A and B are shown apart, each in its own frame.
Chain A
Amino acid sequence: RKEVEQDPGPFNVPEGATVAFNCTYSNSASQSFFWYRQDCRKEPKLLMSVYSSGNEDGRFTAQLNRASQYISLLIRDSKLSDSATYLCVVWVSYNTDKLIFGTGTRLQVFP
């Protein structure tokens, strides 16, 4: 089983739609959580951190459920420019300090 699991998609949604991505992680020692965005043929870039109480950044809302080891990302009012791959990322600090990436979920927003 992979340490971080995501539905690879693709999710094809019209502009203005709300879309949600989910992610599960297996390492209960994971301490920090992130969503990264990767555009086609580009490097990953941090979208937002995920806090226990949930957090929002404009149209983006991230949630964490530690008991279920589950992370989510909600995008409201989708824009064409949101088309990208969204990577769920967990930080593991037991005997190391490293990020573990999921396979990513591809989003395609169409007009």
Chain B
Amino acid sequence: GAGVSQSPRYKVTKRGQDVALRCDPISGHVSLYWYRQALGQGPEFLTYFNYEAQQDKSGLPNDRFSAERPEGSISTLTIQRTEQRDSAMYRCASSSLLTSGDNYEQYFGPGTRLTVT
């Protein structure tokens, strides 16, 4: 079946512009996570949703970053007034389980490479 998809795959934007990154999780997956990954580093947690409810946004760097998942499926990560330091790979992941246990797995999307010039 279809995996996690993200769009756009690449986004180049000018400093000060707003960007919206989309994540389409695996159908039926209840939890959805957003990460940021710098080159040579592991994914860094940003925020997550169970169904449509945002549970933890402690990883969002500042108030220019926001995320929503209004219908419990597709999610959008929005970055307002982008800055060069926002340049990174943004990944989302989804899971069929709400919490860890046997067989817990997060399935990652291919990511959106954001470049702010």
Contacts and interface: CB of A to CB of B under 8 A. Distances in A.
Interface in A70-111: 87, 89, 91, 93, 95-104
Nearest to B108: A43
Contacts of A100: 45
B44 interface: yes
B72 interface: no
A8 B56 contact: no
Task: Give the dominant DSSP class at B's interface.
Answer: loop
B45 A99 contact: yes
Size range of the chain B interface in the assembly = 20 to 34
A36 to B, nearest CB: 8
Given A8-B40, A32-B101, A104-B41, 17 more contacts: A43-B108, A43-B110, A43-B111, A44-B108, A93-B99, A93-B100, A96-B55, A96-B56, A96-B58, A97-B31, A97-B50, A97-B55, A97-B56, A97-B100, A98-B45, A98-B59, A103-B42
